[in-house]
Homo-oligomer: A and B are copies of this chain.
């Protein structure tokens, strides 16, 4: 029987930063990626709509015989992970919990900043998770709708990125945050620029990296780790034409994308 793989899904290319981190953290695992590019972005859509999409993505990946499901999309993690955990029998890991956990570890003054899409910020998911663990935590969040197109445009180090970051982050810096959670899988591409804007005294939390660490831990706990180095190259599926995914995704993955297949979800 072939070893089963890890299923990763996102609304588009952003989740490739999580896939990339997984390849570093669990290099022996086979990975299946699904980007719901026909319906990207999720960040501006309502919770019921995003939950429906998440179920469709989960069903598709489970049909590919995955042993663990990674919701590599903050918006879907914010609104759909609990439902997926209840509905399906494989472990489901979102990107919110790991990033929040790390933020709690690194903050010294208890003032944590969170940046993400409109949907993620509106959902208040980070606030909930952070303040559930420690009621003395103060969360300051900002929706940054320009960061996704900036990252996809390859402008992460451009002056436009710096200016937009200054505009979005000034109110958070005014509040004295010492930790900033990058609550969107696109944002790791902007890490360098964001670090420059917030200064060295503010620690950035990369939820893609933290999520990959959580996946590794969970695989170990559940004794699901691959027993030998038999990893296949990742399989990529998208719900709309792959050309844009191919072009933009390479920067997110850190290498050329190949063999992207188009599928219809229902």
Contacts and interface: CB of A to CB of B under 8 A. Distances in A.
Interface string A55-75: 000000000000000000000
A245 to B, nearest CB: 10
A240 B167 contact: no
Contact of A149 (B46, B149, B158): B149
A38 interface: yes
Interface in A149-163: 149-150, 152-153, 155, 158-160, 163
**What is the copy number of this chain in the assembly?**
2
A244 interface: yes
Contacts of A118: 244
Given A146-B153, A240-B49, A244-B118, A39 B37 contact: no
Interface residues of A, number: 26
A45 interface: yes
A164 interface: yes
Interface in A48-104: 49
Interface in A97-156: 118, 145-146, 148-150, 152-153, 155
A265 interface: no
Contact of A240 (B45, B148, B244): B45
Nearest to A241: B46
Contact of A146 (B39, B44, B146, B159): B146
Contacts of A40: 44
A37 B49 CA distance: 11
Closest 3 CB pairs of A and B: A46-B241, A145-B149, A160-B163
